[in-house]
């Protein structure tokens, strides 16, 4: 039997179709099947899958896991007061979901795609994350042309009223066709982006990863690792502090800037940008050096960088 390995050590082989994830001691497992799921079910097994993520969000609690397949067409927010949820695309790669008919009753294979409704709300992300510790794995986010695929929200609320998407993780996901792949609105920190792909984020001000507001804080301690950025207007436009950008390939970009880690009025600094491939001319036009950032050890057509861009 073939084994499907998901990020973080999860594997399809040997895990029962019902029950809870073995490494989520305090959590439940829910299923979403956007093609054959039915609202009103309990979502606790593939045969009782929810049809929408919105219904799963009505039932999910902190520490739970959601496995999703098919084409999700929703613009929604994560529930308030719910933390550390893992959402996993139940396919081998983050790709467009198949629309085949499973007439023989077999569930077959299908991608896990999150895209806009048939009549999307203007300037609205596919997903707004509002609490800490949410993780997304193996999902294709095919976003709106006028908004982000995923927005990480942080506000200045007090106590239980605080909305803060810090400590989010994205692993093995693909972001395609939107204005922004991952948007940081307010200053969420301690975010990890690993082995993701950012393609075709275009339009005025578009970017694969972008901070649109630092109203609460300058984003602290992001790790952007081993990812591929190509054919975006810009790849990263995000004020960052004490962050690491390592092992990425920054390919074609259609705007002036490729990577700017102090894009919000020069905020942030003390970041390390190393062991990446930087396409285009290595200089401050495409790669502003910023304050106390270290850029040595990257590569481009001119060789390996030994100093900050000038």
HEC string of the chain equals CCCCECHHHCECCCCCCCCCCCCCCCCCEEEEECCCCCCCCCCCCHHHCECCHHHHHHHCCCCCEEEEEEEEECCEECCCCCCCCEEEECCCCCCCCCCCCCCCCCCCCCCEEEECCCCCCCCCCCEEECCCCCEEECCEEECCCCCEEEEEEECCCCHHHCCECCCCEEECCEEECCCEEEEEECCCCCCEEECCEEECCCCCCCEEEEEEECCCCCCECCEEECCEEECECCCEECCCECCEEECCEECCECCCCCEECCCCCCCCECCEEECCEECCCCCCCCCCCCCCCECCCCEECCEECCCCCC
Q: What is the CA radius of gyration of the chain?
A: 20
Cβ atoms < 10 Å from Cβ of 224: 30
Predicted local confidence at residue 22, as pLDDT: 44
Cβ atoms < 10 Å from Cβ of 305: 19
Task: Say how far apart CA 65 and CA 263 lie, in whole Å.
Answer: 35
Q: Which two tokens stand for residue 77?
A: 């927010």
Predicted local confidence at residue 92, as pLDDT: 87
Single pTM value for the model: 0.91
Predicted local confidence at residue 10, as pLDDT: 43
Q: Which two tokens stand for residue 172?
A: 């093995």
Task: Say how far apart CA 47 and CA 30 lie, in whole Å.
Answer: 11
CB–CB of 146/123 below 8 Å? yes
Predicted local confidence at residue 99, as pLDDT: 57
Predicted local confidence at residue 4, as pLDDT: 45
Predicted local confidence at residue 109, as pLDDT: 56
Predicted local confidence at residue 38, as pLDDT: 85
How many CA atoms lie less than 13 Å away from 6 in the CB half-sphere? 23
Q: Which two tokens stand for residue 231?
A: 């054919």
Task: Say how far apart CA 254 and CA 263 lie, in whole Å.
Answer: 17
Predicted local confidence at residue 26, as pLDDT: 74
CA angle 261–263–264, rounded 5-degree value: 125
Which residues in the chain come in under a pLDDT of 50? Answer: 1-19, 22-23, 103-108
């Amino acid at each position: 039997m073939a084994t499907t390995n998901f990020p973080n050590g999860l594997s399809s082989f040997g895990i029962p179709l019902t029950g809870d994830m073995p490494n989520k001691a305090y959590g439940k497992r829910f299923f979403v099947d956007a093609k054959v799921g039915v609202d009103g079910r309990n979502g606790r097994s593939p045969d009782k899958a929810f049809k929408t993520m919105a219904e799963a969000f009505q039932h999910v609690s902190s520490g739970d896991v959601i496995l999703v397949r098919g084409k999700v067409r929703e613009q929604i927010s994560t529930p308030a007061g719910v933390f550390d949820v893992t959402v996993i695309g139940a396919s081998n790669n983050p790709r467009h979901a198949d629309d085949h008919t499973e007439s023989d009753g077999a569930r077959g294979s299908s991608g896990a795609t999150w895209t806009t409704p048939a009549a999307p709300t203007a300037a609205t992300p596919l997903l707004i994350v509002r609490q800490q510790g949410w993780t997304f794995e193996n999902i294709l986010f095919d976003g709106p042309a006028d908004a982000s695929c995923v927005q990480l929200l942080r506000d200045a609320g007090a106590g239980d009223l605080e909305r803060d998407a810090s400590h989010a993780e994205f692993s093995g996901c693909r972001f395609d066709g939107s204005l922004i792949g991952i948007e940081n609105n307010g200053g969420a920190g301690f975010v990890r982006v690993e082995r993701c792909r950012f393609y075709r984020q275009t339009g005025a001000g578009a970017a694969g990863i972008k901070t649109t507001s630092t109203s609460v804080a300058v984003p602290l301690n992001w790790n952007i690792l081993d990812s591929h950025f190509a054919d975006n207007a810009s790849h990263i436009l995000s004020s960052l502090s004490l962050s690491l950008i390592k092992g990425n390939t920054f390919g074609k970009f259609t705007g002036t800037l490729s990577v700017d880690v102090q894009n919000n009025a020069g905020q942030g600094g003390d970041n390390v940008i190393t062991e990446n491939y930087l396409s285009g001319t290595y200089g401050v036009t495409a790669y502003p050096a910023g304050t106390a950032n270290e850029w040595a050890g990257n590569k481009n057509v001119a060789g390996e960088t030994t100093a900050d861009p000038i």
